[in-house]
Amino acid sequence: MSLTEQLQADMKNAMRDGDALRRDTLRMVIAAAQMAAKEKREPLSDEETLAVITREVKKRRESIEAYRAAGRDDLADQEQAEIGVLSPYLPEQMSEDEVRALVVEAIAATGASSPRDMGRVMGQLMPRVKGRADGKLVSGLVNQELAKTAQAE
């Protein structure tokens, strides 16, 4: 069963169970995947569908930050609940220590020595952590490690 089929089956189950949050969240993700498929003009692969889910989770995380800054904890809680619905469809997330180890490895592999080399490091690193680590976390760790490397010289 493809990921898209799984999403649709889970949405139908949520409809039967009367779970409005799950139903609406899955419906939103399915619609986003259908839009992406329409733009591509062919059905999405599981990897592409996973990218859509990851993008939707990222949007919700950004919304949570904005809602909390505006003092709208009720809306932030709603977004957090939607992330909870989508999380089981994402691959296991990497810990900060695992990401840091990959960052150090990528810096060594690319020979990066200053923050100006961040693009090279990120280019090598992102395909390895795609969907398993937040890009903001990865770029922050790359910045930290490159700053340490630059100071050591």
Taking only the tens place, the pLDDT of each residue in 99-108 is 888 888 888 8
> Is the domain 3-89 a CATH 3.60.15.10 member?
no
For the chain, the structural domain boundaries read 3-89, 96-152
> Minimal CA–CA distance to 8: which of 131, 21, 22?
22
- pTM surpassing 0.85? no
Integer Cα distance of 26 and 22 in angstroms: 6
The single-letter DSSP state of residue 41 is T
The string of pLDDT tens digits covering residues 22-43 is 999 999 999 999 999 999 999 9
The CATH class that applies to domain 96-152 reads mainly alpha
